[in-house]
Amino acid sequence: MKASIVVLPGDGIGPEVTREALRVLKAVAQKKGHELRFTERLMGGCSIDAHGVALTDEVLKECQASDAVLLGAVGGPKWDDPKAKVRPEQGLLGLRKGLGVFANLRPVRVHEQLLDSSPIKPDRLRGVDILVIRELTGGLYFGQPKGRDRKDGHERAFDTLEYSDFEVQRVVELAFRLAKARKKKVTSVDKANVLESSRLWRQIAADVGGRNPDVALDHMLVDTAAMRLVTSPATMDVVVTENMFGDILTDEASVLAGSMGMLPSASIGEKGPGLYEPIHGSAPDIAGKGIANPVGTVLSSAMMLRHSLGLTAEAKVIEDAVDRAITEGCRTRDLGGALTTTQMTDEILKRLS
């Protein structure tokens, strides 16, 4: 097949890890007879430096016209002034909105050989295989009004947590569809004892659950979910939740795998290109040192093959190669090893079948 992929290396270690993922994608494409065309563009802090905005209209249009978008990471101390009118994260939010992606998929699977890399006790990690689905387009990050003013002589800041029924329904329905190919269990996370938006969320989740009796539905408050993720994560399968809760819980869940550098993500919508990126940030403290873990980005590229290009077998080739590399002792520094970014990718490439 032929496909067009826009690559947004971004900032910090982003260019380093995307470069390695492209090596793997090109190798798999060559082995399987596919033609993948990669176009590299600026987004994030590097775009602010070059164009004054985190995401230009031209780059967004190219992304919208592509088959998929692969992103490294954005941000860094250089652009980290909270008062700045232009910030790297604006590019990411604008890209998600422009692509119409509403669900962020974050798989969290713990390798048996990495049980000792996590601060969580190994006996609690065995069998952990979770898919967290985070709603991407609603909630506090997008609700209006938001801003600052003065009230009763004091400065006030405010945000609005807002959800419409269709936003909740489509992401919960996706969770149920994906659960049917797994353990047939969905945990819907909310704060329905306090928030009206969560009461709407729970109502809709219950309605969708009623139409899918073959999938078990469990409602869970977010504070309980945060505790369960570290005390009994193996009891969870598909977890679906709103934007901010998902943002926090997925970073917490990364501890289970031993390193944020291990975990991929996919942001998808009803149609159009998906957005694929590792869950880690730009890690400016190690940028340019050649020691970043490329696995999260490599696995994100596998998710891209599966969800946007329909190349399931090719995605599994990459995932199996990563599994074998980890099983056979290949480790970057974040996992207690000594391999460089490029050397880790070399080991994955050796194991492509």
Q: What is the pLDDT of residues 190-201, one digit of tens each?
A: 999 999 999 999
The phi and psi torsions of 265 (rounded to 5 degrees) equal: -155, 155
Whether the per-residue pLDDT at 259 is higher than 90: the answer is no
Q: Which residues are catalytic?
A: 141, 191, 223, 247, 251
Same fold yes or no, 1-104+265-353 and 119-257: yes
Tell me the backbone φ, ψ of residue 289, rounded to 5 degrees: -95, -10
**Mean pLDDT rounded to a whole number for the chain:** 96
Amino acid at 81: D
Query: pTM of this prediction?
Result: 0.92
In angstroms, the CA 89 to CA 86 distance is 9
Average pLDDT over residues 141-168: 94
Alpha-carbon distance 131 to 240, whole Å? 8
Closest by Cα among 251, 301, 252 to 275: 301
Give tens-digit pLDDT for 27-86.
999 999 999 999 999 999 999 999 999 999 999 999 999 999 999 999 999 998 878 889
Q: Quick one: CA torsion of 239, 240, 246, 252, rounded to 10 degrees?
A: 0
- We find that the CATH architecture of domain 119-257 is 3-Layer(aba) Sandwich (3.40)
Mean local confidence (pLDDT), 148-158: 94
Q: Which residues pair with 221 in a beta bridge?
A: 190
Joined together, the tokens standing for residue 36 give 């993948």
- φ and ψ of 304, to 5 deg: -65, -45
Q: Which of 176-180, 258-262, 263-267 has the lowest mean pLDDT?
A: 258-262
Measured distance CA(74)–CA(8) in Å, rounded: 9
Answer whether the bond into residue 145 is a cis peptide, omega within 30°. Answer: yes
Least confident of 112-116, 129-133, 135-139: 112-116
Q: What is the pLDDT of residue 83?
A: 80
Give the model confidence (pLDDT) of 300-323 as tens digits.
Answer: 999 999 999 999 999 999 999 999
Compute how many other C-beta atoms are within 10 angstroms of the C-beta atom of residue 328: 11
Query: How many of the other CB atoms lie within 10 Å of CB of 291?
Result: 21
183 Cβ neighbours under 8 A, 6+ residues apart: 237, 238
- State pLDDT tens for residues 222-252: 999 999 999 999 999 999 999 999 999 998 9
Q: How does strand 274-276 pair with strand 266-268?
A: antiparallel
Domain boundaries, the chain: 1-104+265-353, 119-257
Q: Is pLDDT at 254 greater than 80 in this prediction?
A: yes
HSE-CB of 242 using CA atoms within 13 angstroms: 31
Q: pLDDT > 70: what percent of the chain?
A: 100
Largest CA distance in the chain: 68
Q: What is the pLDDT of residue 117?
A: 86
14-30 per-position pLDDT tens digit: 999 999 999 999 999 99
Q: Can you tell me the distance from the alpha carbon of 200 to that of 162, in angstroms, rounded to the nearest whole number? A: 10
pLDDT at 116: 87
Q: Looking at residue 202, what is its pLDDT?
A: 98
Q: Quick one: fold of 1-104+265-353?
A: Isopropylmalate Dehydrogenase (3.40.718)
Cα distance between residue 250 and residue 223, in whole Å: 13
What confidence score (pLDDT) does residue 81 get?
A: 85
User: What SS3 state is found at 110?
Assistant: coil
